[in-house]
Structure 1
Amino acid sequence: METKKTNGLLYLLCLMCLGFSGCMETSVTCRTFQNRTLYQIEKNPSKHIGKLYAFQGEVLQAQESNSEIVFQMLTKDYRGSYDYGPSLTVLFNRPNTPIVRKSWVKVLGYIGPAIEGRNAFGASVSSLTVKAIAVTVDGHIYYSTKDEATVEQWRSGELFAPKSSVQSKQTVAQKTKKTDATYAVVGSNIVPGIKRSLDVRLSKKVSEAKLGSIALKLKKQDSRSYKRIFICYYLPDMEVGAGAWATTHFNPNLKVQILGLTSEQEKTLKQVTDDPSRKIIGNWLDETPYAGSRIAIFRQNGKLFLENMFKDGSSGKKEVIEKSSGRKRTFRAKEKNNFGEFYLIDKQGNLQLWDNEGYISTAKKFD
């Protein structure tokens, strides 16, 4: 090949002779366009550069660097089909994603310029490029948190859905929202042969049994062997890397731990009846791992208090002093401490914890 060459055609010829194998079904909706759309794009790619599309197919080859993984895929309208479409060169800014030859993938990304070259027979060939923002590998999705909103639309089937079905889809989503929980891998780090670490975003709290089931699915998606696998789970509003809600670690055997409040513990804390002698300023739920609690600020007998009620039934109460500035209400312990901790009620009514170093966490208001 000459400048910016690709070996896609050679792999295509080989795979046409050898065929394909595998029939695992994807566990996410993630709509894709058919091959005829890709053929139309190939006719005039300049019109489509920068536009968002999704395609599916089988990986021909993959190369990984420190900053991204680049792979070629042979597009197909559905898994198991022998009708091959054009090949795509995919650039994905998420190294350590388990993409290997023959992986079945769906790719969501923006069309880029074609890569020009020559095949083994000297004929001029080109391959469209896609700058991916999300890739599913055998049903498990990988993406960057900055694209989470778009990816969630893709996962739900709303993205690229026919207009006539959007309303129906939304109705179904509303009916299932209270019972269905979804998850997505939002971060990964791999030391080949040693360990694999994953960060997973949950749509809602789940049981220990469900966490164990998810962990086993995530483990199976990568056929490579590791001595240890560490998986951390985060709820929708939690910052990745700042303390997980739960973990499922294979060290080497599976151990499931919920570090924050379970759904049952949350329900119990919220149902606690307030002492009628208290004049309640607010109640909040603190989801801090290991220290989750119900926080109440109230007046009683002419004094102001802040109370933490923990999931094990214990509690702690301290007298506080309110210092308000404009619309901001802040509360500090009457007994001074070296850390300068104080609480701030924000515009949404949630309770933020700060200290001398800055912001720490937010407890959500509830009635």
Structure 2
Amino acid sequence: MDSKTCEEILKKNVITCFYERVVIEVLPVFFLIFITSCSNKPKYDYVIINENIERAFSKTSIEIRLKEAISEVDLKNIALEIKNNRSDYDKIWIFYFLPGQEPGKGAWATTHLTPELNVEILGATKEALVEMKSIKVSGEVLNSWFENDAIFPNKKYLIKENNRFFMKSIYPKNKFAKNNSEIKEEVFKEKLKNGLTRYNYENNHGEYYLIEKNGNLGLYDNLGKFKEAKKIKNKE
């Protein structure tokens, strides 16, 4: 065997040895990093929008945004997942909000670990909302809106019956009501100078409805607007 052939074999063995070392030493590290990064990701689809930590009391309060209503089992699993990442705290208070719901106005659901886990859906479940939206109302429907309240969501209908106007509000079942319910109020139409339409009804707080420029239904009292229900398109 000549010297040139020996040199080529030596180079080939060195390169082979180098790649084997890369496979043995580097790839396990890569997969460890990949697995670790994946394990840090939430298993469920939610976003923590706020957290208030009180280390002195070994306590934290967390506000979470969900993409949709989920089951009690899924809420329990999210709570345990969060607890696993905050094992230093004795008490973990977790509040859940559906899309469009604002913190500070009631939570759709809660899972509190104090330290025992307590799961509660305060608002309407996914099934209850579907059932509510399928309810038919009597009278000529002039318009409809959805009020996305965390605990008491409802669908409002502006109805005309016997040349009189009514606002009908349909509420789904929730923690505080075992059955669907309907509230019917006679309203009186008032055309304002700015072109908007106001509907007054009998109450003790100066409350009234106002159809906004965007078609949504504003709920007002003596202090101003306190809620706004979104206009429902005909196909909904």
1:80 aligns to 2:40 (yes or no): no
Q: Tell me if structure 1 keeps the 8 A contact 2:106–2:151.
A: no
- Structure 1 pair 355/105, CA: closer, same or farther in 2 (3 Å)? farther
Paired residues in the alignment total 195
1:261 aligns to 2:109 (yes or no): no
Amino acid at match of 1:290: I
* Residue number among 170, 176, 189 corresponding to 1:322 in the alignment: 189
- Structure 1 pair 349/208, CA: closer, same or farther in 2 (3 Å)? farther
Amino acid at match of 1:291: F
Q: Tell me if structure 2 keeps the 8 A contact 1:230–1:248.
A: yes
- Structure 1 pair 316/248, CA: closer, same or farther in 2 (3 Å)? same
- Structure 1 pair 329/209, CA: closer, same or farther in 2 (3 Å)? farther
How big is the shift at 1:280? 1.0
1:364 aligns to 2:235 (yes or no): no
Q: Describe the SS at the equivalent of 2:62.
A: strand
How big is the shift at 1:230? 0.8
Deviations 1:91-139 (A, max 9, x none): xxxxxxxxxxxxx789xxxxxxxxxxxxxxxxxxxxxxxxxxxxxx932
The structure whose Rg is larger is 2
Distance 1:232 1:191 in 2: 16
How big is the shift at 1:198? 0.1
Q: Tell me if structure 1 keeps the 8 A contact 2:101–2:148.
A: no
How big is the shift at 1:231? 0.6
- Structure 1 pair 345/258, CA: closer, same or farther in 2 (3 Å)? farther
Match of 2:171 in 1: 310
1:240 aligns to 2:103 (yes or no): yes
1:218 aligns to 2:82 (yes or no): yes
* Residue number among 211, 219, 222 corresponding to 1:353 in the alignment: 219
TM-score normalised according to structure 2 size:
0.72
Structure 2 segments unaligned to the other structure (5+ residues): 1-28, 173-178
Match of 1:164 in 2: none
Structure with a larger share of its residues in strand: 1
- Structure 1 pair 329/189, CA: closer, same or farther in 2 (3 Å)? same
Q: Tell me if structure 2 keeps the 8 A contact 1:182–1:204.
A: no
How big is the shift at 1:365? 2.9
Q: Tell me if structure 2 keeps the 8 A contact 1:260–1:287.
A: no
TM-score normalised according to structure 1 size:
0.48
How big is the shift at 1:79? 6.9
Structure 1 segments unaligned to the other structure (5+ residues): 1-76, 82-103, 107-136, 141-179
Q: Tell me if structure 2 keeps the 8 A contact 1:261–1:287.
A: no
1:343 aligns to 2:204 (yes or no): no
What value does the CA root-mean-square deviation take over the aligned residues? 2.6
Q: Tell me if structure 2 keeps the 8 A contact 1:181–1:203.
A: no
Deviations 1:264-284 (A, max 9, x none): 111111111232xx1212222
Moved beyond 6 Å, runs of 4+: none
Q: Describe the SS at the equivalent of 2:80.
A: helix
Matches for 1:1-367 after TM superposition, within 5 Å: 80=32, 138-139=40-41, 182-192=45-55, 193-226=57-90, 228-275=91-138, 278-311=139-172, 312-325=179-192, 326-333=194-201, 335-337=202-204, 339-366=205-232, 367=236
How big is the shift at 1:306? 1.0
Distance 1:354 1:263 in 2: 29
Q: Tell me if structure 1 keeps the 8 A contact 2:97–2:150.
A: no
Deviations 1:14-62 (A, max 9, x none): xxxxxxxxxxxxxxxxxxxxxxxxxxxxxxxxxxxxxxxxxxxxxxxxx
